[in-house]
Structures are given as C-alpha cells and as structure tokens.
Amino acid sequence: MVDKQGEGARGQSATSAWSVPEGRRTDEWSQCVVRIAEHRDRAAFAKFFAHFAPLIKAFALSGSSLSAAHADELVQEVMLKVWQKAAGFNPEKAAASTWVYTIARNCRTDMFRRLQKFDTQLEAEDVGFELESDEPTMALHASRGAIRVRELLGDLPQDQAQILAKVYMEGKSHSETAAELGLPLGTVKSRVRLAIQKLQVFMEAGSEE
Amino acid sequence: MQGRSRAIGQDRAGQFKTMITHHPDTNTLTEFAANSLSCAQSIVVATHLDTCELCQQRLAELECIGSALFESAEPVDVDASLFDLVLAKLDEVEEAPAANDANASDLAWTVKQVRQGNLGGLNWRKVTKTLKIADLGAIDGAAEFSLYHIAEGGSIPQHNHSGTETTLVLQGGFSDETGSYHAGDFVTREAGEEHSPAAIAGGDCICLAVLEAPLRFTRWHHRLLSPLLQLRAG
C-alpha cells in the first residue's frame, strides 16, 4: 500500500491522489452517520445537518430550477432519509459525502418529476443503481478520490468546469446543456469527456497501486 | 482456438458471467450518474450495471466527481427553524414502514422483474413464429420500451430508426451488419442506421430495448409486419 510513502513530514505531498493518511475511511462525516445509525444520536445528526443542509440547499438551487421553498423541502426530505437510511450506510464501502450526494440527487429528481407532473410511476431509485460492491478498494478509491477530485476541479479549464457544473449540479442532460449554452451537442460531449478524463487519470493511477 | 468461440452457451441456465465487450460510453454513463437520462434509458443502463463490474467501477468514479462538485458548492444559509422541523419529524419517519414493495407501481414491479431476470410472467405477444415482444409500458422519454425475444435462428426484419435505439442483451446473443453481441452487451444505434438483427445459434436471444422515436421498417418489409409474418432465418 501507499500509506506513508513520501508523505510523513509533508502532510500535503502531491505524490499520489491516494496517499491520504489511513483512517480516512472513517472520516468525521462517516463516523457521524454510523453514530446516527447505531445510537440514533441526535447530536451527531445535528452536526451532520449543520454541515450538509447548506450544501443540499445549494444543490437544490443550482440552475435556479427550484424555488427557495422547494429547496427547503428538499433539505428536509434528504435529511429525513439520512436518518432513515443511516443503518444501510457502510463506511467501508462509500464516503458519507458521496452517500448523501446520491440521496440528494435522487430526491431532487423525484421532486422535479412531481413538480412537472410527469406521468411517471417510477422513482429515481427504481431506475438507478446503488453501488454495493464488496470490493473494499472501490470504496477506498471513492472516498479518497473525492478529496483529490475536489482539489483538481479548480484546475479544470473554465469551459469544462462550467459544463460539469451544468451536468452534475444542475442535473441537465447534454442536450439541455448544449441548448442553454448555445453550443453544438458534440462540443458539450467532448468537453465532458475531456474533463472526466483529466479527473479519472488520478483515480486510475490510484487503482494501479 | 477459433476466434468465434466464446463461452456464452450457459447463460440461459445459470447466468454465467461472460465477458461484456460493449458498454455505455462516458457521456451516457455521466448522464446516468447525474440522473439526467430519461427513465427508460436509465433502466437499460442500470440493468447493464447489474452485471457489469467494470461499469460499476466507472460509475463509482463518476459519482465521486458529482460528490466533489456537491461538496465544493457555495453553501446557502438554511434557516434554523428548518432543523427544528426536521427534528420534530424524526420519530414519525422512524415508525414509517420501510417496505415500499407494497405500494410500488405496476411499472416499478415490471422493471424489477426485468432486472432480476424474471421474464416469464411478462405480457408477451407473438409477432412472428420466431419473434415475441413484451411492451413494458408507457414511460417518459421513450416511444417504445420493450423486450424482444428472438427464437434461435430467427431475426427481426431490416429496419432503421428515426430515433436512437438503446439495446441491452439479456440472454443469448444477436448479430447484425455491425457485429455480434452477447449477454450484458449494451448497444446504441443512432437514428438512420439500418440493421437486421438475428439471434446467434446456440439459443434464443432476449433483449431489452428503448427507442426514442418509433421504429420505421424499411419500405418493402413494411407490409410484412402483420401477425401472419413468417420470418426467414438469417
């Protein structure tokens, strides 16, 4: 493993995306969720809420697709799901931040469909895929990767960063993104691919170690 | 070793893992990760993911990117009263029944059956001697959302598409002008591409297919699309 290689004294060494200190798998947010699950710990829940509710609200308001009232409703829904689903969270398999992101993503999709009165009998969970790999390395990569990816996002060229934000934060399809930015669909597709390639290089580098 | 031999014979019996060689592209999987595919397309991708470990890994990475963006968003203040509201509801949700199977819609049930490979109970209709189709229901984003069952030696008449067709092979395999596809393979046909898929020898072929717009049979075949149609093999 990569644990200490070249890292010890310098803390923030840039040797590898994965040379994050051990113990990372139980980051404070993951511990929070575990405490919520095991002890129905309301203090842990309050702490989790204080950190994530403003992020969920930001996510809800991205692309100004939801009103402030609906954004608050989304925060409620997501946080109640966190409480309900905490027992199903496995810190060995995913980072808590990724876990709550996928809950927020699905709740928002369902809210969109409700508000647009889509005649659909399906919820996001019915048509989604919940990663449940027993491959611990996968989760390791995911949880360590999140930190590194966050650092790398800042290095993306503006045009690619803008498109990733539309795609992920605003939940726009590639065609919607193309229409909103007045770009050909092919351009949007290639920018997404380029951006993801850059971010993936680090994840792949990690998985080979 | 003959290049064509491939361990696909057993998938009807025991769903042996076979090498999946055709996967959703990065753009499709990214849209899936961000929940921006249509429902119908999401189901096809999700069903592919059910058996494809490679794409599960890819999805984990793409969700990781989503989560990184989520975490680096500029936080928006939440009124303190919202927390109290949520706290007050915790006991309520605690007692809420977790089982959502009971109130799942018919379509949700059908999707579940398809993803679990329970295809016998679906509403199959016989189109030709060698072709059966089960329509899975109306769903947003798709003109057609169905399962195709091509008996060994059978084929689907040559057709082109006015919209994108996304196909996932569930059992057996098929071949067309562009190549051969086997269980787990995810195949996209753009509008305008003509093809006539035929089941590969060795068993029946079952595919899940989503068509963005109605399939158009090329002209001289069109009239053959009656229930009396007899397809010639190959």
Q: What is the pLDDT of residues B192-233, one digit of tens each?
A: 777 788 899 888 999 999 988 555 554 444 444 433 333 333
Please check whether residue A188 lies inside any domain of the structure. yes
| Coil, strand or helix at B76 | coil
- CA-nearest residue to A170 within chain B is B34
Q: Are residues A116 and A169 in the same domain?
A: no
How far is the C-alpha of B47 from the C-alpha of B44, rounded, in Å?
5
Query: How do residues B13-23 score in pLDDT, each as one tens digit?
Result: 344 455 899 99
Of the two residues B190 and B23, the one the predictor is more confident about is B23
Structural domain count of chain A: 2
How far is the C-alpha of B192 from the C-alpha of B215, rounded, in Å?
10
Q: Across all residues in chain A, what is the average pLDDT? A: 81
CB B39 to CB A127 under 8 A? yes
Please check whether residue A18 lies inside any domain of the structure. no
Residue B193: its pLDDT value, please?
79
Please check whether residue A165 lies inside any domain of the structure. yes
Distance from CA of B231 to the nearest CA of A (A): 34
Q: Are residues A36 and A113 in the same domain?
A: yes
Instruction: Point out the least confidently predicted range of A23-37, A178-192, B40-54, B193-207.
Output: A23-37
Q: Are residues A93 and A191 in the same domain?
A: no
Please check whether residue A144 lies inside any domain of the structure. no
Question: Measured between beta carbons, which residues in chain A are less than 8 angstroms from residue B88?
Answer: none
Minimum-distance CB partner of A59 among B61, B70, B86: B70
Q: Are residues A197 and A101 in the same domain?
A: no
Query: How do residues B147-177 score in pLDDT, each as one tens digit?
Result: 999 999 888 877 777 788 899 999 999 998 8
**Domain spanning B20-234 has what CATH number?**
2.60.120.10
pLDDT of residue A142 exceeding 50: yes
Q: What is the CATH number of the domain that holds A181?
A: 1.10.10.10
Please check whether residue A158 lies inside any domain of the structure. yes
| Coil, strand or helix at B111 | helix
Taking residues A135-161, report their average pLDDT. 74
Q: Phi and psi dihedrals of B97, rounded to 5?
A: -65, 135
Distance from CA of A32 to the nearest CA of B (A): 16
Instruction: Point out the least confidently predicted range of B18-32, B39-53, B95-109.
Output: B95-109
Q: What is the CATH number of the domain that holds A55?
A: 1.10.1740.10
Question: Measured between beta carbons, which residues in chain A are less than 8 angstroms from residue B70?
Answer: 55, 59, 97, 101, 104, 168-169
Please check whether residue A11 lies inside any domain of the structure. no
Q: Are residues A29 and A68 in the same domain?
A: yes
Closest CA to A141 of B63, B61, B69: B61
Distance from CA of A80 to the nearest CA of B (A): 7
Please check whether residue A184 lies inside any domain of the structure. yes
Residue B70: its pLDDT value, please?
95
DSSP assigned state of B200: P
Cβ neighbours, 10 Å, residue A92: 12
Helical residues (DSSP H) of chain B, grouped into ranges: 11-14, 26-33, 39-51, 53-71, 80-95, 106-116, 219-222
ipTM: 0.84
Q: Are residues A46 and A115 in the same domain?
A: yes
Query: How do residues A4-22 score in pLDDT, each as one tens digit?
Result: 333 333 333 333 333 334 4
Minimum-distance CB partner of B36 among A101, A131, A171: A171
Q: Are residues A108 and A71 in the same domain?
A: yes
Of the two residues A121 and A107, the one the predictor is more confident about is A107
Query: Could you tell me the pLDDT band of residue A133, with boundaries at 50, 70 and 90?
Result: low
Question: Measured between beta carbons, which residues in chain A are less than 8 angstroms from residue B60?
Answer: 131, 133, 138-139, 141-142
Distance from CA of B34 to the nearest CA of A (A): 5
Q: Are residues A66 and A124 in the same domain?
A: yes
Closest CA to A77 of A97, A105, A98, A51: A105
pLDDT of residue B3 exceeding 90: no
CB A153 to CB B43 under 8 A? no
How far is the C-alpha of B31 from the C-alpha of B166, rounded, in Å?
14
CB B39 to CB A192 under 8 A? no
Q: Are residues A108 and A166 in the same domain?
A: no
Q: Are residues A165 and A200 in the same domain?
A: yes
Tally C-beta pairs within 8 A across A and B. Answer: 192
Which of A70, A108, A127 would best serve as a mutation to test chain B binding (most B beta carbons within 10 A)?
A127
Sheet strand arrangement including B131-135: B124-126, B131-135, B144-150, B205-211, B165-171, B186-189
- CA-nearest residue to B57 within chain A is A138
**Domain limits for position A189:** 154-209
Q: Are residues A161 and A200 in the same domain?
A: yes
- CA-nearest residue to A119 within chain B is B140
Q: Where are the domains of chain B?
A: 20-234
**Helix count (H) and strand count (E) of chain B?**
7, 11
Query: How do residues B70-127 score in pLDDT, each as one tens digit?
Result: 999 999 999 999 999 999 999 888 776 655 555 677 888 999 999 999 998 899 999 8
Please check whether residue A9 lies inside any domain of the structure. no
